[in-house]
């Protein structure tokens, strides 16, 4: 049983996170960039949760590194996109190897094939949103890799099928 007190709910997450969890935040020219590293399940859950801060219509791009298939869609309803990603979140977190980007003209959320979360934005609002989610800002964080090769990903036929079904349900077109 958890007791509520003066400590915000985020303190529960801090007790169970690993030392590698955290994010870096930088400003370069016209854009702010956040790079978040945590365990795979946490990254995918945050990706879905952070989408609620986007406008009601978003663009989507998906790349499956295993099959070299890509899809894209424009002006999709945000609730539909969140639901579609939620349906594959366990497969995505377990297998990786897929890049999913949800973006507008102002913001972009991307989970890369190595299950790291990147946020690109024109404002610094994401710094405060990430801190509000209980994440700790760090000067530097360890990345998992710059780029994985297709042969590094284990076969995941269930994820490949789920991505194709997701693309069909969202009416994404091949990129």
Write the DSSP assignment of 42-94 as a string of letters: HHHHHHHHHGGGS-SEEEEEEEETTTTEEEEEEEEEHHHHHHHHHHHHHHHHH
| The pLDDT value given to residue 167 | 97
What confidence score (pLDDT) does residue 154 get? 84
Listed as ranges, residues in the chain with pLDDT below 70 are 1-20, 142-151
Predicted confidence at residue 48, as pLDDT, reads 97
Q: How far is CA 61 from CA 4, 10, 21, 99, 157, in A?
A: 40, 31, 26, 8, 20
Residue 152, φ and ψ in degrees, nearest 5: -80, -15
pLDDT the model gives residue 41: 94
Residue 12: predicted pLDDT: 39
SS3 171: coil
Full-model pTM: 0.83
């Amino acid at each position: 049983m958890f007791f509520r007190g003066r400590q915000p709910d985020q303190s529960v997450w801090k007790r169970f996170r690993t030392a590698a969890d955290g994010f870096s935040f930088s400003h370069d020219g016209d854009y702010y960039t956040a790079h978040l590293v945590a365990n795979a399940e946490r990254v995918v859950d945050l990706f879905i949760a952070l989408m609620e801060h986007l406008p009601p219509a978003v663009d989507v791009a998906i790349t499956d590194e295993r099959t070299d298939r890509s899809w894209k869609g424009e002006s999709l309803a945000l609730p539909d996109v969140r639901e579609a990603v939620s349906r594959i979140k366990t497969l995505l977190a377990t297998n990786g190897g897929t890049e999913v980007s949800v973006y507008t003209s102002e913001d972009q959320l991307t989970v890369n094939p190595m299950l790291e979360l990147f946020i690109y934005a024109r404002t610094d609002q994401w710094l405060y949103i990430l801190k509000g989610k209980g994440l700790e800002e760090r000067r530097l964080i360890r990345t998992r890799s710059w780029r994985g090769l297709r042969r590094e990903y284990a076969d995941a036929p269930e994820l490949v099928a789920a991505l194709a079904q997701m693309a069909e349900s969202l009416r994404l077109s091949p990129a």
